[in-house]
């Protein structure tokens, strides 16, 4: 794609740099602050959520769950001695020995190990308190991000996909560039690439809102106020399963996101999310 076909770059150039680089102003203050608050919220929500999951490490579809065999995912513990266990994870009819990770550490019957949960020891009440407190901060922070960026034009300018970008040939080229770890320079490096936009759009407008909605569906108090949520998600157990699956998709997003940050240049990338200033290598690879 030629530069003429590309949308306007993210933000105004900050200053010219010496040599073969220029410095641009890439992220506004509101994006930077809400991003890092979000990182803390997601980490604490995930770990406290896994503490809640451990209280009943089985997932079901529909309105009701029980101890019987209709869970589509379960992490179970079987005694193998006086105080030893074998952990077994079941997905549908498939069974995996996951001792030490899921189902049971050798000496303890628990869905996920201590390092994945908040608090580390088994304590559902404290986990729930953390989860519901952080959910408020997460939701308010998310609203600030959504409203301010809708008003200041960030979504339209930097995240919206143009028709040219989603054309199969352009998309394929972007995928190949990613596989070859080929990173854009010059004008193209000043904006998010197509796969990056797709990932951010899905996380911001699909996965994170789904977390809020399915989380609210699990709250009996909120169901009294909005009973249509239970109908929308097909019951409380379905909402819980979607909440859990989306939490896993968030983990997957974070792994790819952080790997990309390292590949693209960890100091420049993280520095830009802290100060807003980003060094772009001059060149013409678009
Ligand atoms: C406003 C946002 C959120 C709300 C209102 C919310 C609400 C809830 C509720 C009500 C539960 C079930 C609590 C219980 O049964 O005692 C839950 C569980 C859980 N949450 Fe959230 N949550 C939110 C965001 C998140 C986020 C962002 C993550 C992950 C990154 C997350 C991960 C989990 C996990 C893994 C569970 C355990 C699933 C289960 O076994 O029930 N939650 N959440
Ligand atoms: C330690 C973990 C994380 C690091 C180091 C990190 C780093 C970054 C960096 C450097 C950027 C700017 C990319 C660029 O300019 O090309 C960015 C953008 C972004 N990150 Fe993260 N991130 C982390 C965790 C997360 C999490 C947990 C989420 C959400 C679940 C997230 C969502 C986003 C989004 C949506 C953007 C685009 C923001 C916008 O322009 O509106 N990040 N991240």
Residues 63-87 have pLDDT tens digits of 887 765 689 999 999 999 888 999 9
Q: What is the CATH number of the domain that holds 191?
A: 1.20.950.20
Write out the residue range of the structural domain in which residue 91 sits.
Answer: 60-111
Closest ligand 1 atom number to CA of residue 216: 5
Same domain, 43 and 28: yes
| Ligand 1 close to Cβ of residue 244 (< 6 A) | yes
Low-confidence ranges of the chain (pLDDT < 50): 1-7, 286
First to last CA, the chain: 7
The three-point CA angle 180-185-190 to 5° equals 115
Nearest to 277 by CA among 7, 13, 3: 13
Does residue 272 belong to any structural domain of this protein? yes
Q: What is the C-alpha to C-alpha distance for residues 69 and 92, in angstroms, rounded to an integer? A: 10
User: Phi, psi at residue 243, to the nearest 5°?
Assistant: -60, -45
Distance (Å) from CA 43 to ligand 1 centroid: 12
Distance (Å) from CA 154 to ligand 2 centroid: 15
Same domain, 126 and 167: yes
Question: What residues form DSSP beta bridges with 95?
Answer: 90
Nearest to 72 by CA among 241, 209, 256, 196: 241
Does residue 286 belong to any structural domain of this protein? no
Same domain, 38 and 70: no
Domain end residue (candidates: 79, 111, 143): 111
Same domain, 47 and 104: no
Q: What is the C-alpha to C-alpha distance for residues 45 and 133, in angstroms, rounded to an integer? A: 9
Same domain, 168 and 47: yes
Provide the whole-model pTM: 0.91
Number of separate domains in the chain: 2
Same domain, 107 and 155: no
Same domain, 86 and 105: yes
Same domain, 93 and 67: yes
Residues 136-168 have pLDDT tens digits of 999 999 999 999 999 999 999 999 999 899 899
- 286 and 164 Cβ atoms separated by less than 8 Å: no
Same domain, 273 and 162: yes
Domain end residue (candidates: 92, 111, 130): 111
């Amino acid at each position: 794609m030629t530069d003429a076909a590309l949308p306007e770059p993210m933000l105004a150039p900050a200053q010219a740099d010496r040599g073969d680089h220029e410095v641009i102003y890439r992220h506004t203050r509101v994006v930077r602050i809400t991003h890092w608050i979000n990182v803390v919220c997601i980490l604490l929500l995930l770990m406290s959520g896994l503490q809640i999951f451990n209280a009943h490490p089985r997932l079901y579809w529909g309105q009701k769950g029980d101890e019987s065999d209709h869970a589509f995912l379960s992490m179970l513990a079987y005694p193998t001695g006086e105080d030893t266990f074998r952990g077994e994870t079941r997905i549908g009819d498939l069974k995996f020995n996951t001792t030490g990770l899921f189902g049971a550490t050798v000496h303890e019957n628990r869905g996920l190990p201590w390092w994945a949960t908040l608090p580390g020891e088994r304590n559902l009440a404290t986990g729930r308190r953390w989860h519901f407190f952080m959910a408020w901060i997460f939701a308010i922070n998310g609203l600030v991000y959504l409203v301010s960026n809708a008003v200041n034009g960030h979504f339209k300018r930097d995240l919206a996909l143009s028709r040219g970008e989603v054309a199969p040939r352009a998309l394929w080229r972007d995928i190949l560039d990613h596989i070859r770890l080929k990173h854009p320079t010059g004008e193209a490096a000043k904006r998010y690439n197509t796969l990056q936009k797709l990932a951010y759009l899905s996380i911001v407008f699909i996965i994170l809102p789904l977390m809020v909605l399915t989380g609210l569906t699990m709250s009996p108090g909120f169901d009294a106020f909005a009973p249509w949520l239970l109908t929308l998600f097909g019951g409380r157990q379905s909402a819980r399963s979607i909440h859990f699956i989306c939490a896993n998709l968030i983990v997957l997003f974070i792994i790819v996101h952080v790997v990309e940050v390292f590949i693209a240049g960890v100091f420049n990338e993280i520095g830009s999310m802290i100060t807003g200033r980003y060094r772009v290598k001059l060149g013409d690879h678009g």
